[in-house]
């Protein structure tokens, strides 16, 4: 199973938890690819995930299966050659856009499961990964809130959340989806720029049930839980953002103890990673 993560050095806590969850649920070799880069905006600098961290993660996954591996790929040069200029200073880290360079990396395989680092694999995801997607660019789940506001077609819900995507890089290279998305991010400022670009430009996609990217509340059949920002009504209307590595908040604010074993392992390992 080929997995793709993207980000800078700050993704280490989420990356560790997400990989621990895959190691627990997936019973076939894991080929984990990490795209990272140096990026900067007018006010912030983002350093790449270190080779040492990637090597330590590789050692961790090999404890479960010697065939598991972690490959770190620095795409700083690709980003510098074609930066997302119009979206460097958005409220979202520009490192989210690194996945849009995946088609330019020859080392990446044709089929990839892309995961945000705030996604936990709760059940075996092999059936999702092994579905036939040869004629598609990607497979994903509707965005919980965005489906109401960001329609591409007003006849039906069609706006995908990009936190869990089954990618067909061969088809993406053929259609130029990521190349066109990079150009849009370079020239047009957008809200959630990479997700907006993908939704606007994708031609061949499949929508699957929300259990493959549960963005709201955990359910019995949830395969991937995505810890996104949500709206809460009580005691007043407000947003709530809790990430898996914020262990106390997961317990106290979300009242969630589903992943206590994973989070206990995380808290032991993160101090040495």
Distances (CA, A) of 240 to 196, 234, 246: 22, 11, 13
What's residue 200's pLDDT? 95
Task: Quote the percentage of the chain above a pLDDT of 70.
Answer: 92
Q: Is the pLDDT of residue 16 over 80?
A: yes
What's residue 199's pLDDT? 95
Helix, strand, or coil here: 62? helix
1-15, 39-53, 152-166, 203-217, range with the lowest pLDDT:
152-166
pLDDT in tens, 38-54: 998 888 899 999 999 99
pLDDT in tens, 140-154: 999 876 555 566 655
Sign of CA dihedral 267, 51, 124, 29: negative
What's residue 94's pLDDT? 81
Q: Is the pLDDT of residue 221 over 60?
A: yes
Task: Indicate the pLDDT class of residue 129, thresholds 50, 70 and 90.
Answer: very high
Distance (Å, whole) CA 166 – CA 241? 25
pLDDT in tens, 165-179: 999 999 999 999 999
Half-sphere exposure of residue 254, counting CA atoms within 13 Å on the CB side? 27
Average of per-residue pLDDT values in the chain: 92
What's residue 234's pLDDT? 60
Q: Please check whether residue 270 is in contact with residue 39, taking contact to mean a CB–CB distance below 8 angstroms.
A: no
């Amino acid at each position: 199973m080929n997995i793709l993560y993207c980000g800078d050095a700050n993704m280490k806590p989420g990356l560790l938890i997400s990989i621990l969850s895959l190691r627990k649920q997936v019973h076939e070799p894991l080929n984990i690819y990490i795209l990272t880069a140096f990026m900067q905006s007018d006010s912030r600098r983002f350093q790449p995930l270190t080779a040492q961290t990637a090597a330590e993660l590789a050692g961790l996954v090999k404890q479960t299966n010697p065939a598991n591996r972690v490959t770190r790929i620095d795409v700083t040069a690709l980003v510098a050659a074609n930066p997302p200029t119009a979206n460097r200073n958005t409220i979202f880290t520009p490192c989210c856009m690194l996945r849009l360079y995946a088609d330019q990396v020859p080392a990446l395989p044709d089929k990839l499961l892309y995961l945000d680092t705030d996604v936990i694999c709760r059940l075996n995801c092999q059936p999702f990964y092994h579905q036939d997607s040869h004629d598609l660019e990607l497979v994903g789940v509707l965005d919980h809130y965005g489906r109401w506001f960001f329609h591409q077609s007003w006849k039906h819900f069609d706006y995908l959340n990009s936190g869990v995507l089954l990618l067909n890089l061969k088809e993406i290279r053929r259609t130029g989806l990521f190349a066109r998305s990079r150009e849009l991010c370079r020239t047009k400022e957008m809200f959630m720029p990479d997700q907006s670009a993908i939704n606007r430009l994708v031609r061949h996609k499949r929508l699957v049930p929300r259990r493959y990217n549960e963005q709201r509340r955990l359910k019995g059949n949830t395969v991937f839980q995505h810890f996104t920002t949500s709206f809460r009504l009580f005691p007043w209307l407000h947003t709530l953002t809790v990430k898996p590595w914020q262990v106390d908040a997961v317990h106290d604010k979300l009242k969630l103890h589903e992943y206590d074993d994973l989070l206990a392992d995380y808290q032991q390992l993160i101090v040495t990673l």
